[in-house]
Amino acid sequence: MHLPFLTPENALIFRCTHIRNVPWILANGLHCGNSAVRDPGFVEIGLRDLIERRAQQEVRIAPGGVLSDYIPFYFTPRSVMLLKIVSGHGVPRVPKHDIVILVTSLRELAKRGLESLLTDRHASLGAARITSNLEEGLTRIDWRNLQASDFRHGDDDPERHERYQAEALVHRHIPLEALQRIVCYRPQEKAQLKDEIGRRGLELSVEAHPDWLFQ
């Protein structure tokens, strides 16, 4: 699948979460794992041990702290972690219709004065290069393979799988207004989300893109 909109000019970033987390996000925005502001009903998806390791891993540049002081995003909706989650490969399986993808852009966050860091591969890896310079960081992203959804392990490019998992790390908090849209799997969830957003008097685009969830 080709995703031509994944470009440094757009600088789009993506984060998946459980659909049951959306009402709290609509009321509170996004908060990092170490935040004192927590969703008491938060539904966790992904690797528990990875989440715990990120709580210990130091960030080498300002604003510093540990990885859990940041909200992690990928530069593609079709992340390696999302594939694991919907297939149940090494993690508890979650049905595709129970997952949403939150979308914004680093340029939008920068306009709002929100601090972000960029890594050229998965942030938990020791080889990851990290920067707070937006334009420098964007030049390090492997846009060609992201556009092609190509994260194969292979002798021809042994680091491709790592680079595909490059991250944008947003410090502490993202207000709801900084999100650009929510993407879900089916029209049923789209209607459900639009109703939830409308009842709160909010404006946030909702789209259904089953191909983003590895249909």
Q: In angstroms, rounded to a whole number, what is the distance separating the alpha carbons of residues 103 and 15?
A: 7
- Digit-coded pLDDT (tens) for 120-176: 999 999 999 999 999 999 999 999 999 999 999 987 898 999 999 999 999 999 999
Q: In angstroms, rounded to a whole number, what is the distance separating the alpha carbons of residues 119 and 170?
A: 12
> Does an H or E element contain 81, and which?
helix 80-87
Q: In angstroms, rounded to a whole number, what is the distance separating the alpha carbons of residues 100 and 189?
A: 9
* Percent of the chain topping pLDDT 90: 92
pLDDT at 155: 79
Evaluate whether 55 touches 183 at the Cβ level (below 8 Å): no
53 token code pair: 């390791």
* Percent of the chain topping pLDDT 70: 100
The question of whether 58 is a catalytic residue gets the answer no
pLDDT category at 18 given cuts 50, 70, 90 is very high
Which is catalytic among the residues 15, 78, 167, 189? Answer: 167
Is 112 or 153 the better-scoring residue by pLDDT? 112
> Does an H or E element contain 111, and which?
helix 106-111
Which is catalytic among the residues 15, 54, 121, 163? Answer: 54
- Predicted TM-score (pTM) of the model is 0.97
pLDDT at 49: 82
